[in-house]
Homo-oligomer: A and B are copies of this chain.
Amino acid sequence: MLSQAKIRFINQLSRKKIRYEEGCFIVEGNKGVKEGLEEGLTARELYVSDPSLIPFSGAEVITEKEMKKISQLTTPSDTLAVFDFPEIKDWQDADWVLALDEIQDPGNLGTIIRTADWFGFKHILCGQGTVDPFHPKVIQATMGSYARVQCHSIDLEACLQQQERTVVGADLEGVPLKNYDVPSKGVLVIGNEGRGLSSSVEKLLDTKVTIERGEGSKAESLNAAISTAVILHTISNRLSSQN
């Protein structure tokens, strides 16, 4: 049975401050929990409300009512884990990294993590003002990819200043993506959903790329996760054709 103290502890993990004090975060759903375990994350707590469906060794079986008390979801799933923060891996060896300049929507960040995972980008640098990558809604939107892509909270300006890789930003006024000569190493910077790249970050770019509009299009902008996907796809494709 779940103690009141446990319930309180898990509920408090919806707050960023507590997550960082405790060094852990919540993952809900069979698939997401499974992927965390497969990638070697340490489960501090592991609960299932339907033991027949989920053969996780070491899981504590709780009732659906208890699951509801610890779940962050409107419709709780049958699995919930509290994982320790993953061990920090060095991103400096990666050829390409993605950097986010104040992405604020948890759904967008989760989708960006999922997309980075698909295209083989293992590291995301999250500048100040970017939503916490361990926010429950972010984790949910990654569809399990949170376990394979590492997000690093950094000072984006300081990081870009020291950067030896080419730094390229997504912008409405840049080199058309089809004409962009993809270097073997780089940092792709994506700006805020509403304001785009901040001016202090823009100064540190080596180049800017633009996703070409279709003929006759009067659209003003693309969603941040959509822009990220289109550019990562282009980079990934060009790199694989260079090899």
Q: Which residues of B contact A229 (CB under 8 A)?
A: 222, 226, 229-230
Asked if A144 is at the interface (CB within 8 A of a chain B CB), the reply is yes
Q: Mark A225-243, 1 if CB is under 8 A from B, else 0.
A: 1100110010011001100
Is the CB–CB distance between A223 and B119 below 8 Å?
no
CA distance A107 to B105 in the complex (A): 13
Q: Which residues of B contact A237 (CB under 8 A)?
A: 178, 212
Is the CB–CB distance between B233 and A211 below 8 Å?
yes
Asked if A72 is at the interface (CB within 8 A of a chain B CB), the reply is no
Q: Which residues of B contact A107 (CB under 8 A)?
A: 107
Is the CB–CB distance between B148 and A219 below 8 Å?
yes
Asked if A214 is at the interface (CB within 8 A of a chain B CB), the reply is yes
Q: Select A119's contact among B148, B214, B240, beta carbons within 8 Å.
A: B214
Asked if A114 is at the interface (CB within 8 A of a chain B CB), the reply is yes
Chain A 194-241 residues near chain B, CB threshold 8 A: 211-223, 225-226, 229-230, 233, 236-237, 240-241
Asked if A121 is at the interface (CB within 8 A of a chain B CB), the reply is yes
Asked if A117 is at the interface (CB within 8 A of a chain B CB), the reply is yes
Q: Which residues of B contact A140 (CB under 8 A)?
A: none
Q: Select A230's contact among B178, B219, B233, beta carbons within 8 Å.
A: B233
Is the CB–CB distance between A240 and B219 below 8 Å?
no
Is the CB–CB distance between B178 and A120 below 8 Å?
no
| 4 closest residue pairs by CB, A with B | A120-B214, A119-B214, A117-B219, A118-B219
Q: Could you list 5 further interchain pairs (A-B, Cβ under 8 angstroms) beyond the known A117-B217, A178-B237, A229-B229?
A: A114-B219, A143-B220, A178-B241, A211-B233, A226-B226
A sample of 10 cross-chain residue pairs with beta-carbon separation below 8 angstroms, ordered by A number, consists of A107-B107, A114-B222, A114-B223, A114-B226, A118-B219, A119-B214, A120-B213, A120-B215, A121-B214, A230-B233
